[in-house]
Amino acid sequence: MTGMPDPSTHSPSGTASPNQTTTWPQALSVWATAQSNGPVQRRGRYVPQSVKHPARMLPAIAAHAVRSYTQPGDLVFDPMCGIGTTIVEAIHAGRDAIGVEYESQWSDIADLNIAHAHRHGATGRGSVIRGDATRLTALLPAVLQEQVALVVTSPPYGPTVHGLVRPGSDGVAKFDNRYGEDKGNLAYRSSLAGLVEGFTGILRGCHTLLRPGGVVVITARPWRKRGELVDLPSAVLTAGTAAGFVPLERCVALLAAVRGGRLVARPSFFQLQQVRKARAAGVPMHLIAHEDLLVLGKPLNPGSRVGT
């Protein structure tokens, strides 16, 4: 994939090489994160209320990022943690984790998931702070600056997303398809430019928290607005570089299973409906089978470049 630095400058542990150049661990560019679907991945590992969040990260994505870019005892952070997927996967892997969540309905569920994880053997420490991630440096104690080894997060996709469906007498009804009604939520920014501006501010706060040599993993996918494709991954990459990070890798997190060398799609009801309508209208649209994973790094030395 694009953005990969010279492998000769990488070390498996992500620590500095003797000449103090910036080094990060190697990772495969395709992550096979959907060999089981989301409900199966969460079953027994997350509380039932977790399904209410409209845009849950696949646990396997967070778990793979934690295993690839941290060591036991490291600190993992998610500035928009939702129901706490990043935190749960980190503490199950023996890492410590902190999350920030703007809306109390989600932070309450994240607290339940953390407690549930500890009851089921998670050894890491985890906590959620209720607050506005665009103000991270004011929200979090100064002692955490340059202590975080890994940030794993995803930007919102607007105030409403696919959610869940149930059949009714007059067709199919949506439910659990909104982040919440608080218009201060970043999801309510009216334009892509506004979303990128807010997300850039969040990443600047993450830059302060991340230790030199640390890594940021951001999941994002394009979406369509009134038929137009919105290139969120490229916008996220722009936000990351504006916040002072160096692009390392652009990977793929599969949303489809691999069976016999073929991809088996795991689409939502709405994705199937959208594709069927488009094809009926003569538009050759395909099902989404992956999310983009943008991997960014914080150089060890201010102004240094990867591999120099």
- What is the predicted pLDDT for the residue at 129? 96
Domains of the chain, first to last: 7-297 (3.40.50.150)
Residues 189-213: tens digit of each pLDDT: 557 787 888 899 999 999 999 999 9
Q: Is 133 helix (H, G, I), strand (E, B) or coil?
A: helix
Per-residue pLDDT of 258-291, as tens digits, reads: 999 899 988 877 778 878 888 898 988 888 888 9
Angle between helices 85-92 and 59-69 (to 10 degrees): 50
What torsion, rounded to 10 degrees, do the Cα atoms 58, 63, 68, 70 define? 130
Find all residues with CB under 8 Å of 95, minimum gap 6, and list them: 66, 70, 72, 73, 74, 75, 76, 124, 149
pLDDT value of residue 227: 65
Whole-structure pTM over 0.85, yes or no?
no
pLDDT digits (tens, 9 = 90+) for 142-186: 999 999 999 999 987 654 444 444 555 555 444 444 445 555 555
Pick the residue with more confidence: 61 or 16?
A: 61
| Summary mean pLDDT of the chain | 81
Cβ–Cβ < 8 Å for 296, 218:
yes
Distance, first Cα to last Cα, the chain: 21
- CA-closest candidate to residue 56, choices 80, 32, 77, 73: 80
Residue 80 has pLDDT above 70, yes or no: yes
Closest CA to 249 of 289, 297, 213, 284: 297
75-84, 264-273, 293-302: segment of lowest average pLDDT: 264-273
Lowest-confidence pick of 6-20, 31-45, 147-161, 219-233? 6-20
Q: Strand 148-153 relative to strand 75-78: parallel, antiparallel, unpaired?
A: parallel
Q: Using alpha carbons only, give the angle 241, 246, 247 rounded to the nearest 5 degrees.
A: 90
- The whole-number pLDDT of residue 231 equals 85
Q: What is the 3-state secondary structure (H, E, C) of 148-182?
A: EEEEEECCCCCCECCCEEEEECCEEEEECCECCCC
Q: CA-CA distance, 213 to 251, in Å (whole number)?
A: 19
Using DSSP's 3-state secondary structure scheme, residue 110 falls into helix
